Every structure is written in C-alpha cells, then in structure tokens.
C-alpha cells in the first residue's frame, strides 16, 4: 500500500467518524434540552438519524474515490458537514410534529453542497497531482 493510499484510507475513516457523530455534536450548543431530543428518543431515533445521515457521509466517501490526495477530501467534507451541522442544530423536534421529516431531507439537501465541494476537490486534486509531477 502506497503512502497516499494509506493516508486516504485514514481520511475516509475520519469522514465516517465525523459523519456518525455530527448530528449529535451539532446539538451540543443548544444545551441538554436540544441534545436530549435526539438521545432520549430511543434507539429507534438514533438509528433513524444515523441511517439517513449516512446518505451525506456516503456521498463524501464516493467523492473520495476520484481523489488521490487526502487534502482534496477537505472541500466536500467541509461543505457537506457545515450544511448538516447547521441543519441539525436548527431542527427543534418539540416545535412541530412534522419537524422529524427534516431529519430525512437534511442529508438529501446536503448532496448539493457536497457535489459542489466534490467538484472543487477534484480540481484541487488535479492541481496537486500536476504540482507533484513537475
């Protein structure tokens, strides 16, 4: 395994860990009440949030397949995770009965920022490859 492949593998693991923890960490600034909305919903809610959030971090991992340098992965991760963090912070499950529907659509809506970041990351990766070859 080349050093680039090993470091890309580590970067992908970091993306998965951040992706799994992000919905819960994004709730921390709202205090224990906001955090409790996700944690006290039971195992079903935890699996629901984590399962749908896998759409977003899975898309970031898919972007990484086109990259050779781990630095390129920062852009889709930054764009996508920033949108998701904002969305999970803003959703108040006690405010409206239909607020939980947002948990389904947040990762889907995050695909646009991830795609934009993925395209920019690809351009960055090509630039880094050319600079290394020169």
Of residues 103 and 122, more confidently modeled: 122
Of residues 99 and 41, more confidently modeled: 99
Distance of CA 39 to the CA centre of its chain: 19
Q: Is the pLDDT assigned to residue 125 strictly greater than 90? A: yes
- Give the single-character DSSP code of 2: -
What average pLDDT does the segment 31-44 reach?
A: 82
- pLDDT at residue 2, as a whole number: 63
Q: Is the pLDDT assigned to residue 102 strictly greater than 90? A: no
Q: For the whole prediction, is pTM greater than 0.85?
A: yes
Classified as helix, coil or strand, 110 is: coil
d(CA 87, CA 71): 25
What per-residue string of b and e applies to 35-71 under the rule 16 or more CB within 10 Å gives b? Answer: bebbeeeeeebeebbbebbebbbebbbebbeebebbe
What pLDDT digit, counting tens, does each position of 46-74 carry? 888 889 999 999 999 999 999 999 999 99
| 58 within 8 A of 111, measured Cβ to Cβ | no
Q: Is the pLDDT assigned to residue 12 strictly greater than 90? A: yes
d(CA 112, CA 89): 19
């Amino acid at each position: 395994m080349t050093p680039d492949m090993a470091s890309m593998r580590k970067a992908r693991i970091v993306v998965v860990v951040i992706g799994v923890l992000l919905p819960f960490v994004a709730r921390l600034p709202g205090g224990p009440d906001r955090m409790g909305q996700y944690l006290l919903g039971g195992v079903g809610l935890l699996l629901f949030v984590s399962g749908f959030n896998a759409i977003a971090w899975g898309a970031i991992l898919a972007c990484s397949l086109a990259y050779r340098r781990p630095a390129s992965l920062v852009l889709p991760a930054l764009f996508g995770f920033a949108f998701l963090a904002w969305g999970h912070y803003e959703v108040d499950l006690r405010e409206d009965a239909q607020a939980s529907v947002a948990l389904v659509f947040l990762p889907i809506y995050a695909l646009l920022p991830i795609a934009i970041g993925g395209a920019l990351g690809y351009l960055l990766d090509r630039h880094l490859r050319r600079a290394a070859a020169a």
